[in-house]
Amino acid sequence: MSLSQLARSIAESPTLKLNEEARLLREKGEAVIHLGIGEPKNKAPLAATLSAAARLRDGELKYAPTDGQPALKKAILRYTEEHYNKSVAPENVIVCAGAKQALYTLLYTLLNPQDEVIILAPYWVSYPEMVRMVYGVPVIVKPEDPHFVPRLSEIERAVSGYTKALILNSPNNPSGVVYPAEFVAELTAFCERKGIYLICDDIYHKLVFDGARAPAAYAYAAKDLETSRVITLNGVSKLYGLTGVRVGWVVAPRPVVEVMTNVQAQTATCVSVMQQAAAEGALTGLQSAVESLRLTIQNNRDVMVRELGAFSGVRVEKPAGTFYCFPDFSAYGKSSVELAQFLLKKAMVVTVPGKEFGLEGHLRLSFAGTIKDVTEGVTRMKWALDPAAPNELYIGSRRLVRDWL
């Protein structure tokens, strides 16, 4: 069978693959704990549910404008002004089927074949593959700093005449690091000076802890929105826990949005009006659900870090945002892929190998689930790996004895 060489070269999403493996194991009755999924356990905000239900009741389930429903775009404009202190016009916004699809459409709009995109490691697993899917070239910058923050000099060395864009994800998936204001300021100035698009993936920008704030590149841009190279992506999936609604958006100069709209018109046509109604409800309704979710995740973070602190040989940076941490397990002498497979087989715990995020030796652990998932999951991992942990473990009524250490 003849298939596209490009399509066959794209790597499978490791997170979605792990989700499927966990589902199949659960269907077999296995007591799997999933520490790999980036999905909060909260119920959808009531305003989002009611707004979507109202759209269903009125029966107006027709085409929407390709760039988004006016009411939702109005809510996004208000959100941008409130959280970024930036006034933008409707022509600067396009609504897409999730921030993931928004990023792909943006890259399709910006890149010519062989254009390079700088990606800071650790990075979200889909960034390099999306760049390759539009015939671009991902250029990975691995920071020397063990705290996951690169120096501008490291980025400067990676820039070439083919560099078109740089992706900045802060708070960062998978590390949970919030890049310092000084770094964001100098990176913004550098990109504006060099004419490089600074693509800010801000999907976690309000999911921060301990009174921290995620500095926005807009605050340091010397140029106005139409002439600056700063572009932001956001959505409702993480902050509101609406992962299944699939609504994201891009704020960009008008010429970028115009071309993105043409691309979307020829591919998706528009985003479902019911999903847009849910997103509008989330953005315009009471925001108490957001703070409740943030506090729950912060508490889960504290428990995860405490449990990992009692794990021999494991080093972990305390996440300042997101619902992930990225501990270093290299002391255990396995590749991250081997380690993740070992933990799934022996302890029935799903983790994501650090290799997929550009840094070997680490595992990404999610604390988006319940406290029970966090504590029991780490307990099982310690039992499987840590010689100092008890030799026996009960999973339900099953008694397991460790015989490999």
Rounded to an integer, the average pLDDT of 284-306 is 96
User: Where along the chain do its domains lie?
Assistant: 5-43+288-401, 61-284
pLDDT in tens, 308-344: 999 999 999 999 999 999 999 999 999 999 999 999 9
DSSP state at residue 97 = S
**Is 17 a residue whose pLDDT tops 80?**
no
- The DSSP string of 260-286 is HHHHHHHHT-S--HHHHHHHHHHHHS-
pLDDT in tens, 369-389: 999 999 999 999 999 999 999
Q: Which fold would CATH assign to domain 5-43+288-401?
A: Aspartate Aminotransferase, domain 1 (3.90.1150)
pLDDT mean across residues, the chain: 95
Q: For 386, phi and psi rounded to 5 degrees?
A: -90, 115
Predicted local confidence at residue 16, as pLDDT = 74
pLDDT in tens, 111-151: 999 999 999 999 999 999 999 999 999 999 999 998 999 99
Q: For 357, phi and psi rounded to 5 degrees?
A: -105, 5
Predicted local confidence at residue 18, as pLDDT = 72
Predicted local confidence at residue 24, as pLDDT = 85
Cα–Cα distances in angstroms (integers) from residue 204 to residues 63, 110, 384, in the given order: 30, 23, 32
Where residue 30 falls among pLDDT bands split at 50, 70, 90? Answer: confident
Residues 6+ apart with CB under 8 A from 180: 149, 215
Higher pLDDT: 345 or 376? It is 376
Paired with 362 in beta bridges are 328
Its pTM stands at 0.96
CATH of domain 61-284: 3.40.640.10
Q: Which of 141, 143, 139, 140 is nearest to 162 (CA)?
A: 139
Predicted local confidence at residue 313, as pLDDT = 93
Where residue 26 falls among pLDDT bands split at 50, 70, 90? Answer: confident
Q: Is the dihedral of CA 369, 311, 213, 222 positive or negative?
A: negative
Q: How many residues does the chain have?
A: 405
Rounded to an integer, the average pLDDT of 187-209 is 98
